[in-house]
Amino acid sequence: MNLFFKGLLIGLGKIIPGVSGSMIAISLNEYENMIHCINNIFNKKSIIYLIKISLGIIISIIIGSNLILYLINKYELFLYTIFTILILLTIPKLLKEVNNYLYTIITIIIILSIYLIDGLNFNNNYFVVGLIESVSMIIPGLSGTAIYNSLGLYDEILNLMSTIYLLDFRKILPFSIGLLIGTISSIKLIDYCFSKYKSETYSVILGLVISSVFLMLIKR
């Protein structure tokens, strides 16, 4: 399977709640290659590799986002029920990596408290959305859409992705800057967290996933 088609599958994994694009990349034996190329982004081979796989990811995200938006408008309750089930299915995998649930509980409390206080209003802050997207791309098993649901951003990010071809630079530029800065800076941070605090890191991720389920139920 060539890089373009692998990118299509990874992109699809990024927009379906409960599915992780990075886990799809691992299953396709491309995760380590992607991390290596991002770490060596100024290398000619890395640039060619990233262009090929990114093209598939971008096309998949645009088409998939439009399809999901259509389904949400037509079958909202059914679709969000499926989304919730998919998110719940990720929890057993995370539980295997967690030894201490303190950080899970703290994360849930923080996310729900912030939501109750100000509704986690990140509307129109596409730089922050780009940062979030970059982190979700790097962490294996972490669904970016689970984070978006936790922060109340899922509908907004779908709208951004489904219309990205319109080249609205007021949205695309801050999103791209956040994505670039977040990706470059978070790779080494994530690598450090997993090497030094693997269980604690997964504990926080578990808290985000559980929070996304609670918030999805609250909003629907």
Distance CA 134, CA 139 (A): 9
DSSP string, 160-214: HHHTGGG--HHHHHHHHHHHHHHHHHHHHHHHHHHHH-HHHHHHHHHHHHHHHHH
Q: In tens digits, what is the pLDDT along the chain, a chain of 220 residues?
A: 689 999 988 887 777 765 667 767 877 888 878 888 887 888 889 899 999 999 998 888 888 888 877 777 787 777 777 767 767 777 887 788 888 899 999 988 887 777 676 555 555 677 887 887 787 777 765 667 767 766 667 777 777 777 766 667 777 888 889 888 888 887 878 778 878 888 888 888 888 778 777 766 765 5
Copy the structure tokens of residue 87: 């998110």
Put simply, whether the predicted model's pTM sits higher than 0.85 gets the answer: no
Distance CA 30, CA 197 (A): 24
Distance CA 197, CA 143 (A): 20
For the chain, where are the E strands, in sequence order?
Answer: none
